[in-house]
């Protein structure tokens, strides 16, 4: 799922291990996205915090419920790149900035692709949702994200 989370996009961050199976469900927390119209959209997200959890991500999973996702949290804001290696479910990737706002969205990431999906700037986290979620809900850059898993909004 994750490449180049450390500086150097395109570098394989954790290439030593061969991953062959989905990871067990990770601890989950609620996450809310408040859109430009003030509507709140609630999700339950698994927290991928360790390098191993982030590397495996959604690999080998066959489905993701509509109101669920996975949140990748970095220790400090950074440019990052993701991929869909061994990921069977198409995803929307939502890149989250230091103010806990949507910085960029990659819709309908192609299953099994090793193409690099860039954050296009510094982000503190990435939220993966089932493909089509951002379009269906009308989510756009600037929408506010809140969760106990994210540091409080920086001003």
Q: Using one digit for the tens of pLDDT, what is the confidence trace for 57-103? A: 999 999 999 999 999 999 999 999 999 999 999 999 999 999 999 99
SS3 annotation, 58-119: CCCCCCCCCCEEEEEEEEEEECCEECCCCCCCCEEEEEECCCCEEEEEEEEECCCCCCCEEC
What are the chain's domains? 2-7+26-145 (2.60.120.1140)
Rounded to two decimals, the pTM is: 0.88
**Residue 8 pLDDT level (bands cut at 50, 70, 90):** very low
């Amino acid at each position: 799922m994750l490449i180049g989370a450390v500086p150097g996009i395109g570098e394989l961050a954790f290439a030593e291990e061969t991953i062959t199976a989905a990871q067990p469900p990770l601890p989950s927390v609620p996450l809310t996205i408040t859109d430009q119209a003030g509507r709140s959209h609630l999700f339950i997200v698994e927290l991928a915090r360790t390098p191993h959890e982030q590397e495996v991500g959604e690999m080998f999973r066959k489905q993701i419920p509509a109101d669920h996702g996975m949140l990748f949290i970095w220790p400090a804001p950074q440019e990052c790149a993701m991929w869909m290696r061994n990921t069977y479910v198409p995803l929307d990737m939502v890149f989250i900035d230091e103010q806990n706002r949507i910085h960029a969205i990659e819709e309908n990431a192609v299953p099994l692709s090793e193409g690099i999906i860039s954050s296009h700037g510094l982000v503190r986290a990435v939220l993966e949702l089932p493909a089509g979620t951002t379009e269906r809900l009308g989510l756009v850059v600037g929408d506010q994200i809140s969760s106990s898993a994210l540091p409080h909004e920086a001003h």
